[in-house]
Amino acid sequence: MIVLTVCNHKGGTGKTTSAVHIAAALGLSGYRVLVIDLDPQSFLTRMMGVEEPPEAASSMMLFQQEVPLHAVSKTKLKEFDLLPASTGLTRLMRRLSKPTDVLWSKEALAEASSEYDVILFDTAAAITVYSLNALVASRHVLIPVTPEYQPVIGAEQTFQTSMMVQGKLNPDLEAPLFLFTQVDGRKRNHYQYRRYLRNRYQNRVLNSVIRTNAALATTHSDGTTVFEHDPYSRGARDYANATDELFQRIMKGEQPDVAAQEEALPVSQPAQP
């Protein structure tokens, strides 16, 4: 079972859009996928047209003693299952203040592999007990990042947080992968920030990018994704390609990306005489 956290400490970088469309692309390929909405603001839940769930059918159940994931009822959507967020997450957060409270989700997911092939966590734009729970329960991290100043800073901080979690709480966690989102090829600063991250993080940056696309910005709130309502759009194609690349990378393990390394070399090489 693949467990992946989608996070960036900066808001509005395409986390929720990425979680939904990667889950949908995998669902369409036949994988059994669960998305867990751990954002107390519930945008993903609302985007999928799901009403405020009873707490017993929400992601709050991951934080109950002795409640394994299979015992919690999920919302069945067309391409994947959803464990929706409840507004009660905000209230619950105040009670989750012990150091061991970062371990709840990992315990709840312990026997989930008979039910799902892939579990994706969508997280809020902050370091909270929920995002830490997601990172502790995951092996993989995807950082969606718009190639602009604040999202890039947020992405680098998220990378640091993930490495801290790897060092102190979850040695199985792999270094995050970055996915550029809302890319506008006409903007010079987008080009510069893409180059900066690629040089710095090399093969941790996916080659596929998600361009700006009106079809992705339009919410349908009926549980469908761009793959139904606009399957030939750039958004559908970009997320299909990014999902392919992401999962090839995850499945293959760490294959060095020669092209990215070559691109980075000039930075560290002395100038030619």
Ligand X SMILES: Nc1ncnc2c1ncn2[C@@H]1O[C@H](COP(=O)(O)OP(=O)(O)OP(=O)(O)O)[C@@H](O)[C@H]1O
Interacting residue ranges for ligand X, rule: CB under 6 A:
11-17, 39, 43, 124-125, 181-182, 210, 212-213, 216-217, 235
Q: Which of 175, 245, 160 is nearest to 209 (CA)?
A: 245
Q: Which does 225 bind (CB under 5 to 8 A by kind): Mg ion, ligand X, none?
A: none
Q: Which does 216 bind (CB under 5 to 8 A by kind): ligand X, Mg ion, none?
A: ligand X
Rounded distance between C-alpha atoms, residue 151 and residue 143, angstroms:
10
DSSP label at residue 118: E
Q: Which does 75 bind (CB under 5 to 8 A by kind): Mg ion, ligand X, none?
A: none
| Beta strand 177-183 pairing with 75-76 | unpaired
CB of 114 to ligand X, least distance (A): 30
Cα-based distances in Å from 264 to 123, 211, 245: 31, 23, 20
By CB under 5 A, name the binding residues for Mg ion.
Answer: 15-16, 43
Q: Which is nearer to ligand X, 205 or 216 (CB)?
A: 216
Q: Which does 83 bind (CB under 5 to 8 A by kind): ligand X, Mg ion, none?
A: none
CB of 41 to Mg ion, least distance (A): 7
Rounded distance between C-alpha atoms, residue 105 and residue 37, angstroms:
12
Rounded distance between C-alpha atoms, residue 257 and residue 164, angstroms:
24
Q: Which is nearer to ligand X, 86 or 212 (CB)?
A: 212
Q: Which does 123 bind (CB under 5 to 8 A by kind): Mg ion, ligand X, none?
A: none
- Cβ(109)–Cβ(2) under 8 Å? no
By CB atoms closer than 10 A (0-12, 13-18, 19+), residue 248 is exposed
**Position 85, amino acid:** A
**Position 173, amino acid:** L
Angle of helix 129-137 relative to helix 149-168, nearest 10 degrees? Answer: 60
CB of 39 to ligand X, least distance (A): 6
CB of 168 to ligand X, least distance (A): 25
Q: Which does 210 bind (CB under 5 to 8 A by kind): ligand X, Mg ion, none?
A: ligand X
Q: Which is nearer to ligand X, 20 or 119 (CB)?
A: 20
Q: Which is nearer to ligand X, 12 or 223 (CB)?
A: 12
Q: Which is nearer to ligand X, 77 or 210 (CB)?
A: 210
Q: Which is nearer to ligand X, 109 or 125 (CB)?
A: 125
CB of 45 to ligand X, least distance (A): 12
CB of 16 to Mg ion, least distance (A): 3
Rounded distance between C-alpha atoms, residue 27 and residue 53, angstroms:
23
